[in-house]
Amino acid sequence: MNRKTRLAGQVVLITGAGSGIGRAVAIAAVARGMRPVLVGRRQAALHETLSLLPGGMGAASVGWAFACDITVPQQRHDLLAELARREGRLDILVNNAGAFHMGPLSAMTDAAIAETFAVNLAAPTALIRDSLELLARSEWPVIVNVGSVNGDLPDPEFSAYSAAKFGLRGLSDALRLELAPRGIRVCYIAPRATDTAPPGDEGVAADMNMSLDQPEIVAQMLWAAVERGARSAYRGRSERLWIALRRLCPRLWDWHRGS
């Protein structure tokens, strides 16, 4: 049976909190009585998110921001040192930061490939490892990895992105088993294309005949999944059906996407 999580009063670290899904997750967290720690590369964007939280930037009790690049080990160390100093624990880690590069693999640069895997997979893996000590101090520790339906349903010209999200899903499944004896739960969230960053999602959704979600919808799905103790949550009835069908008959998905 899934163990429900009490959200009120929890300290939650959210990466990619300067825009889009991360911003919506932070706003929804405060509405549920949580204290968010906003993480992202752009200080100005984080301050904008802070200003949108109930209570605004002037209310120190609402939450705080820390600008850093989680792909850089020293910056991760500095982030968690500040978190330990200010909060003393971490209840929920939301790995939401992402990088998106679309196009044929033959045209993708080394830099684009490296960024895709660094931001979407390597950095979340390292951040989880580095956060385990703080998570162990929590009564209700949860790790939330924000993936994508492309982590189950690959599409042409999404090769590196799909591979990274497949990896994040695999990481979530493995860590769920590995960390269970320590009382740390792992939840994998798979949104569809969203009307937000990364740039180009709206055009991509139209080109690929994908449904487009608002980030607020994804945030509501995320917190509902965490609260009920779910292993994972996926957006879209048709997407969930295709995931099930692809597991039974992979060629059916290949035919559907025009291979």
Residue spans per domain, the chain: 11-256
- Round to whole Å and give the CA distance between 122 and 178: 18
The pLDDT, as a whole number, for residue 20 is 95
pLDDT exceeds cutoff 80 at 44: yes
Q: Both tokens of residue 202? A: 């709206």
Judge whether 234 counts as a catalytic residue.
Answer: no
Provide the mean pLDDT of the chain. Answer: 87
Place of tokens 């493995």: 174
3-state secondary structure the chain: CCCCCCCCCCEEEEECCCCHHHHHHHHHHHHCCCEEEEEECCHHHHHHHHHHCCCCCCCCCCCEEEECCCCCHHHHHHHHHHHHHHCCCCCEEEECCCCCCCCCHHHCCHHHHHHHHHHHHHHHHHHHHHHHHHHCCCCCCEEEEECCHHHCCCCCCCHHHHHHHHHHHHHHHHHHHHHHHHCCEEEEEECCEECCCCCCHHHHHHHCCCCEECHHHHHHHHHHHHHHCCCEEECCHHHHHHHHHHHHCHHHHHHHCCC
- Percentage of residues of the chain with pLDDT beyond 90: 67
> How confident is the model over 152-163, as a mean pLDDT?
83
CATH class of 11-256: alpha beta
Q: What is the average per-residue pLDDT within 158-178? A: 95
| Structure confidence at residue 155 as a pLDDT band (50, 70, 90) | confident
CA–CA dist 5, 123 (Å, integer): 26
Supply the pTM of this predicted model. Answer: 0.88
15 burial (CB, 10 Å; 0-12 / 13-18 / 19+) is: buried
- Give which of 241, 147, 244, 150 is closest to 189, Cα–Cα: 147
Closest CA to 97 of 82, 111, 76: 76
The band of 62, judged by pLDDT with boundaries at 50, 70 and 90, is confident
CA angle at residue 91 from 94 to 230, to 5 degrees?
Answer: 60
Do 94 and 142 form a contact (C-beta atoms < 8 A)? Answer: no
Is residue 199 scored above 70 in pLDDT?
A: no
**pLDDT per residue over 97-153, tens digit each?**
998 898 898 999 999 999 999 999 999 999 999 999 999 999 999 999 999 887 677
Catalytic-labelled residue, pool 100, 140, 161, 234: 161
The stretch 181-185 carries a mean pLDDT of: 97
pLDDT score of 1: 44
